[in-house]
């Protein structure tokens, strides 16, 4: 039997770092949303007691460094599963891009193995497991639009963000999340108005939402990688209603309520960066 799970990418409409906690993590407030760019994972039971990861992307590790492998290993250990599994990852989300591709693959693996092995686990059970692997995994279990706090483990579901077009642009580089948080200075940080953003999404107010999106990590990443600001400037020049870096970067997204403008941004950035995507938000 083969089971298939989709693993959607996420964007951060809002990301604020409040303080550094005693455990070394940062206390965060985020508004996150899923977009229609997704990996697909295929699961097949093996009689041999092993985990095999296969993928169409040569940059993806296929051992314990892969979040899907780590998820499968954790589930097998926790529930004493003695059969094996082959997981094929059809990769569409850019790697190390601030779009939670690895975390979403991990969440899809937990959902897929829950079905494959008839474990009967709730989404909260899966989120608790996922939090042992990565901070974004609990959100990725359900996806959609959510208010996320703590280091990422506390999830408050929200109504879907106002429907719009999203242009995603990833420059040809990767960013270390740890290095960005490590360079964060609370003396100079610009805190976005997360309560106002949350209220705008709750009210389905697209205009107010585009006025209140913000990312406290953006200044740090731009200082290290000025191309992020260049992409933002081009997006706004071509007519974006708003443009923002997602997560710790380097991917930048533009929001547009009109497809024609989104298409213009897509065309205008296609020559500037190789990885450009025109997608919709997910209901």
Q: Active-site positions? A: 10, 136
Q: Does 100 appear as a known binding residue?
A: yes
Q: Does 99 appear as a known binding residue?
A: yes
| CA distances to 145, 184, 194, 227 from 191, in Å | 21, 12, 8, 22
CB 7 within 8 A of CB 140: yes
Q: DSSP state, 130? A: H
State the virtual CA torsion across 194, 199, 202, 208 in degrees, nearest 10. Answer: -90
Q: Does 97 appear as a known binding residue?
A: yes
Q: Does 103 appear as a known binding residue?
A: yes
The burial class, CB within 10 Å (0-12 / 13-18 / 19+), for 178 is exposed
Q: Does 101 appear as a known binding residue?
A: yes
Half-sphere exposure of 24 (CA within 13 A, CB side): 3
**CA angle, corner 253, sides to 263 and 170, nearest 5?**
95
Q: Which of 247, 260, 66 is nearest to 165 (CA)?
A: 260
Q: Does 94 appear as a known binding residue?
A: yes
Half-sphere exposure of 235 (CA within 13 A, CB side): 29
Integer-rounded Cα Rg, in Å, for the chain is 19
Q: How far apart are CA 117 and CA 89, in angstroms?
A: 19
Q: Does 184 appear as a known binding residue?
A: no
Helix/strand number for the chain, H first, E second: 10, 11
Q: Does 98 appear as a known binding residue?
A: yes
List binding-site positions: 94-104
List binding-site positions for ATP: 94-104
């Amino acid at each position: 039997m083969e089971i298939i799970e989709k693993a959607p990418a996420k964007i951060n409409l809002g990301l604020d770092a409040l303080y550094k906690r005693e455990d070394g993590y940062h206390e965060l407030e985020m508004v996150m949303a899923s977009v229609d760019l997704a990996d697909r994972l295929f699961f097949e039971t093996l009689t041999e007691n092993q985990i095999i990861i296969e993928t169409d992307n040569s940059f993806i590790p296929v051992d314990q460094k892969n979040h899907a492998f780590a998820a499968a290993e954790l589930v097998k250990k926790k529930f004493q599963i003695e059969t094996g599994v082959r997981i094929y990852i059809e990769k569409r989300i850019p790697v190390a891009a601030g779009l939670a591709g690895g975390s979403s693959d991990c969440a899809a693996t937990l959902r897929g193995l829950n079905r494959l092995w008839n474990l009967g686990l709730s989404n909260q059970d899966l989120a608790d497991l996922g939090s042992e692997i990565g901070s974004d995994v609990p959100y990725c279990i359900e996806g959609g639009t959510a208010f996320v706090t703590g280091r990422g483990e506390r999830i408050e579901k929200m109504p879907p963000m106002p429907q719009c077009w999203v242009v995603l642009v990833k420059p040809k580089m990767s960013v270390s999340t740890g290095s960005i948080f490590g360079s964060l200075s609370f003396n100079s940080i610009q805190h976005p108005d997360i309560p106002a953003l949350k209220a705008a999404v709750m009210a389905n107010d697209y205009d107010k939402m585009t006025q209140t999106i913000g990312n406290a990590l953006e200044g740090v990443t731009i200082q290290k990688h000025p191309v992020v600001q260049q992409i933002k400037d081009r997006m706004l020049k071509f007519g974006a209603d708003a443009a923002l870096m997602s997560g710790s970067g380097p991917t930048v997204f533009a929001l547009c309520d009109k497809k024609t403008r989104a298409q213009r941004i897509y065309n205008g950035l296609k020559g500037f960066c190789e990885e450009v995507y025109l997608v919709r938000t997910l209901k």
